[in-house]
Amino acid sequence: MLRTMVYAALICAGTAMSVGAQEPLPATDVTALQMQAFLDALPRNEINDLPVRTVDVGGHRLGVFGVFRPKDQPGDAIAHETRTSEVYYILEGGGTLVTGGTIVNPKPVPANRSPGPRGEKIDGGVSRHVGKGDLIVIPGRTPHWWSGLDGDIRYMIIRSDPDSRMRLK
């Protein structure tokens, strides 16, 4: 699992790093035990998507987030209004994830949530069942939506933030 986490981080960060005379940045570790403890501490009665670590990787930021979604709250369809791409790595559980297409019945963004169109579902997207060990790359501004969950789901998101909007943690 840790090897997959490293590969996912490299996918996000690889294109932004340049080879040159600059000093190398220190590495940041998030161990499997740290991720497990972080996810175990999240409340079970709501959707949580919170930063575990956010670091400067030279010219932009990269964030590692822990997510818990209760089965009865798959969430809205959303397209973030940023260039921030996301890499989902499913740790536990599974469900049907829809990406692309058009968000249906847009609604206002809830308080303390990332900006971008939200709605009740997606029409015309690509639907696939994902489960433990699966990795999904979602480019910035791409609509995405959990249309259904098999049970509670826990996953990690690695976010590449070319605009450096994330706070360092």
13-22 pLDDT, tens per residue?
444 444 455 6
Cα dihedral across residues 59, 160, 156, 2: positive or negative: negative
What average pLDDT does this structure show over 154-169? Answer: 92
What average pLDDT does this structure show over 122-127? Answer: 97
Q: Where do the domains of the chain lie?
A: 2-16+30-161
Q: Which of 64, 42, 62 is nearest to 51 (CA)?
A: 64
**Mean pLDDT, all residues of the chain:** 87
* Superfamily name with CATH number, domain 2-16+30-161: Jelly Rolls (2.60.120.10)
Tens-digit pLDDT profile for residues 64-118: 999 999 999 878 999 988 889 999 999 999 999 999 999 999 888 877 777 788 9
Token look-up 């997606």 returns: 122
- Specify whether the CB–CB gap between 142 and 100 falls below 8 A: yes
pTM attached to this predicted model: 0.84
What average pLDDT does this structure show over 36-57? Answer: 95
